[in-house]
Amino acid sequence: MTSTRIDARFAALAAEGRPALVTFVTAGDPDPDTSLALVKALPAAGADVIELGMPFSDPMADGPAIQAAGLRALKAGQTLAKTLALVRAFREGDDTTPLVLMGYYNPIYNYGVERFVAEAKESGVDGLIVVDLPPEEDEELCLPALRGGLNFVRLATPTTDEKRLPAVLANTSGFVYYVSVNGITGTAAPDTARVAEAVGRIKRHTALPVAVGFGVRTAEQAAAIGENADGVVVGSAIVAAIAGSLDAEDRATERTLSAVTSLVTALARGVREARRDAAA
């Protein structure tokens, strides 16, 4: 498989000696135009990698904030085709920021795997995170995605033991996403010491970068996690910032864009200070 934007970005940041800030927003939240404006604004605010959620009506791994974002997006008419169109529009002005689609298999299956992989690659998607496809189902999407030139990013969790880890890592590419807490997104804060231990354990099995997510909400947490991880993933806090800026009918306001960019700027400052503090 040829090198992707994800590979290039993590390599560049490793050379800088700092972790990546990986930001998550839901495609189409709170409406298509605002969503595109938000995604376009993320790199300038400090995002190194963008995860774009594919809205789904039954998001079993997501907490209340991201569930609500998905429902807002679906209500506003977001579809998988429109999500790919959003990526194409983003790529018109940004050909370097890695972009990963994150979600569930059902919408992809209904769209058609071969069609989805081809259109995702053509639109400028770099990788996929599909949370409900275990390694035993790699023929469904993982292997077609890899053959199509897309990274397939797998999740490892606190319950992924030494016996299971090689299977999880077997066809993973781009980076490994370590889920720092058990349960759904955005509901608990990660234990920094345990995260450091887990990242070290995963790195004994793979040369891939390890990004840590679930529960990171502040610049201080991002800095602490970033001392050991190659990337820090923030989703629920950003989605909550969007929700907090909306009006009573869940429509975007003049505060929506700045609510997100100010938070991302603070988080970016945290990850940029992480390794410097560790080395001081």
Q: Which of 62, 119, 227, 273 is catalytic?
A: 62
Is 62 tagged catalytic? yes
Sign of the CA dihedral with 111 first, then 112, 117, and 123 last: negative
The DSSP annotation for 55-103 comes to --S--TT--HHHHHHHHHHHHTT--HHHHHHHHHHHHTT-SSS-EEEEE
Q: Provide the residue count of the chain.
A: 280
Which residue in the block uniquely carries the two structure tokens 């490994």?
176
Show the tokens assigned to 114.
């071969």
The single residue of 29, 51, 119, 273 carrying the catalytic annotation is: 51
Which of 20, 82, 59, 111 is CA-nearest to residue 239?
59
Nearest to 150 by CA among 133, 165, 128: 128
Active site members: 51, 62
